[in-house]
Chains A and B, each alone.
Chain A
């Protein structure tokens, strides 16, 4: 499954990032790597973007970005 499917309050582990462009680089720079734990903290009022906790900081990702991130629970 991909990160956009993770429910609020749930934590998963990143498996891979399904993208080869600068987007992948950007996600790596934010500390989102294979093996990283990631938690869906809460959605924004309109449901997109969503706030995720990664390595004790919170980042907001758009649904289309979250969809690039393959996770396992």
Chain B
């Protein structure tokens, strides 16, 4: 799983036939009766949609411009006799909701209860990517980091110690070059492991030294649970309230917290129409 830059699989061209052909069936947009939901998050331009297409076999969804994935795009694939629904989220640098994109991504990770959130990180700009990784890990530990663009990082003379990253982050880290289909089978294996609770997740989470702050978080979180019942991550919501996040404050006020916006209320896009 933890291959390093120098030892990337060179099997790019024939990937679909000899790497994972046996277990992977791409189901395109036939999303029905899935066993697991997988969310794809990441900074803009890190290859989320390339990975989405590799896994689902879809091709409609390509292009290199800002804000291409305006809504959630959905597809499906079969792997080892299990059916996965894959949701491609808009590319964001953050989940703290200063734009519609970020709100869509955040709400899905928080309230869509994906079984696994795959965070696509840019190996050539790892430091920047890790910001979003840590934000997602604050919401959920059920995550896999897809360390994409390893081929480009290699060309730039960068070597990344993926094993150490696994230790530091506490979730699987898969080095990839998605354009050449390198690492796709390893990614599938990691997604499966986390879905089946077979990976010992110890997601790194920020703790605050300020006792008063932790006390307030605890109090708020308890109130939120009492009001909204089964919230996936009351601690995270409490933090946003303390921070003054307007969209979360409004969602608590009008009691819509925890309800995902339906596709109809989201900007329409080709894929959902095609279904």
Chain A positions near chain B (C-beta within 8 angstroms): 22, 25-26, 29-31, 55-57
Contact = CB atoms under 8 A, between A and B. Distances in A.
Interface stretch (B6-14, B74-82, B124-132): B124-132
B125 A29 contact: no
B93 interface: yes
B96 A57 contact: no
Contacts of A30: 93, 128
Contacts of A55: 125, 127-128
Contact of A29 (B94, B124, B127): B94
Nearest to B96: A25
Chief secondary structure at chain B's binding surface: helix
A56 B93 contact: no
B98 interface: yes
A25 B94 CA distance: 9
A30 B94 CA distance: 9
Interface in B111-133: 124-125, 127-128, 131
A22 B98 contact: yes
Contact of B131 (A22, A26, A31): A31
A31 B127 contact: yes
Closest 6 CB pairs of A and B: A29-B94, A55-B127, A57-B125, A29-B93, A22-B98, A31-B128
A27 to B, nearest CB: 11
Nearest to A20: B244
25 contacts: A22-B98, A25-B94, A25-B96, A25-B98, A26-B94, A26-B98, A29-B93, A29-B94, A29-B96, A29-B98, A29-B131, A30-B93, A30-B128, A31-B127, A31-B128, A31-B131, A55-B125, A55-B127, A55-B128, A56-B124, A56-B125, A56-B127, A56-B128, A57-B125, A57-B128
